[in-house]
Structure 1
Amino acid sequence: MRIERLGQDKIRIFLTFDDLSERGIQKEDMWQEIPKVHDLFTEMMDQAYKEVGFDATGPLAVEVIALPAQGMVVIVTRGKYDHHHPGFGSSYEDELPDEVYEMEVTLESSDTILYSFDDFEMLIEAAHVLNHMLVEAGRLYKYKGKWVLQVDSDPLEESKIQAIIAVLAEFGDAISVTSAVLEEYGNVVIADDAVGVICEHFKLQN
């Protein structure tokens, strides 16, 4: 579990599939109202308070994005008290409760596989292994000093997706950002067919 502060009222938590399995949670469980998922959210909020000082008191907007390879990205935004909120009666207008822990959860799934590489040589090696598995695939970003390869898993068969993830995991690291974050804060280096372009211009080092 990795926690990153995005702002005064916003954090991002990255859960790997190992984090989930250690707690007896399947990916599909995140879509259900079950006690162990509530326990996981409580644990995340406790850890967020300890690590980055994020106080989860008050209404929270929780966005859970399931990624095909990396695990899940959980974005938590702390809202402001709304005196007209249906949860508060008029008697609460002058004296709000000390602790309100309510969550509005949004769940979505992404078809995007994202892996980062510290070393461009490792990316070249990965691209040459992937080249025979993918046709005109991949988008390459530069983000926070790392090379990030994005592959859309939507048109691929499940067995091929797992093979691609195995290759990427051998050479790179799963990254806890979404495509939207990369699009906004990263720099596009190769917009299309990144795997093919890298293989065409960069040969393997002997």
Structure 2
Amino acid sequence: MEIERINEHTVKFYISYNDLEDRGFDREEIWYNRDKSEELFWEMMDEVHDEEEFSVEGPLWIQVQALDKGLEVIVTRAQLSKDGQKLELPIPEDKKYSQEAEQLNSLLNDLDNEEKPDEIENEETKLQFVLKFADFEDLVSLAKHQFSGCKTTLYSLENTYYLYIDFEQLSDHEVEDQLSLFLEFGSESNATIHRLEEYGTLITAEHALHTIKKHFS
């Protein structure tokens, strides 16, 4: 796989169909199977992170172009606007993709955020994050704090706890403040809610922190 760092927020990589099949993926299946396209994407992103130290933080804009012998993928992290008031994602209007590439673009851009980039408003935003915790005691400590405007769901997978956080009706500034507090106790994870729902064990739904505080504090 070939990787090119474009700038601080954007990375481009190319994977041939032969490489894709060597990794155990069917080149036809990835166009329409959400789980397979998600698995392939995060496998590639792990390599990108190792080589370029490109971390995945917040919403992503993912562009996929099908070439004759492989896929070209461009990933851009959302960034704050110049006035610091909202998150911005690039939305290219002049790109032409095949039907298959359009389908894969749609699947991948649903991984972290069901909302489309052009639906992000100036004052309020809806964002989802997944944090991981190696120790349950860290979750107990986190639950002692007050949070509003978000739903929290707790999963376990491979001896690790994952907290899915769904922020609703909060300004970007409020999301940043609350997320910074979450990150004092947990760390960012590349796991998606789809993977957790399929392979993880649901421990507490929607009001996880409230439930933990009620029973363990």
Shift, 1:58, TM fit: 6.3
Structure 2 alignment gaps of length 5 or more:
32-36, 43-55, 73-100, 114-126
Letter in 1 for 2:167: S
SS of residue paired to 2:169 = coil
Alignment correspondent of 1:115: 131
SS of residue paired to 2:183 = helix
Alpha-carbon displacement from aligned partner over 1:97-118 (angstroms, at most 9, x marks no partner): xx72256241425132110100
Alignment correspondent of 1:174: 188
Within the candidate set 13, 21, 37, 1:41 is matched to 13
Give the Cα separation in 1 of the matches to 2:139 and 2:184: 11
Return closer, same or farther for 1:58/1:137 CA change in 2, 3 Å cut-off: closer
Return closer, same or farther for 1:56/1:159 CA change in 2, 3 Å cut-off: same
Return closer, same or farther for 1:58/1:202 CA change in 2, 3 Å cut-off: closer
SS of residue paired to 1:150 = strand
Structure 2 length normalisation: TM-score? 0.51
SS of residue paired to 2:162 = strand
For the pair 1:134 / 2:148, whether they are aligned, the reply is: yes
Q: Is the 8 A contact 1:140 1:194 kept in 2?
A: yes
Larger Rg: 1
Alpha-carbon displacement from aligned partner over 1:48-92 (angstroms, at most 9, x marks no partner): x6xxx6499967646679xx9456598x9xxxxxxxxxx9xxxxx
Shift, 1:164, TM fit: 2.0
Give the Cα separation in 2 of the matches to 1:179 and 1:195: 17
Q: State the identity as a percent.
A: 21
SS of residue paired to 2:197 = helix
Q: Is the 8 A contact 1:73 1:176 kept in 2?
A: no
Cα root mean square deviation, aligned: 4.0
Within the candidate set 166, 172, 177, 1:152 is matched to 166
Return closer, same or farther for 1:135/1:186 CA change in 2, 3 Å cut-off: same
Q: Is the 8 A contact 1:136 1:195 kept in 2?
A: no
Structure 1 length normalisation: TM-score? 0.54
Structure 1 alignment gaps of length 5 or more:
1-19, 30-36, 77-86, 88-98
Give the Cα separation in 2 of the matches to 1:120 and 1:173: 13
Q: Is the 8 A contact 2:149 2:168 kept in 1?
A: no
Alpha-carbon displacement from aligned partner over 1:129-186 (angstroms, at most 9, x marks no partner): 2xx2226731111111111111112332211211122122221111111111111111
Letter in 1 for 2:70: Y
SS of residue paired to 1:138 = strand
Return closer, same or farther for 1:102/1:23 CA change in 2, 3 Å cut-off: closer
Q: Is the 8 A contact 2:130 2:164 kept in 1?
A: yes
For the pair 1:192 / 2:187, whether they are aligned, the reply is: no
For the pair 1:124 / 2:127, whether they are aligned, the reply is: no
Shift, 1:126, TM fit: 1.6
Q: Is the 8 A contact 1:140 1:190 kept in 2?
A: yes
Alignment correspondent of 1:91: none
Aligned residues: 142
Within the candidate set 7, 10, 16, 1:24 is matched to 7
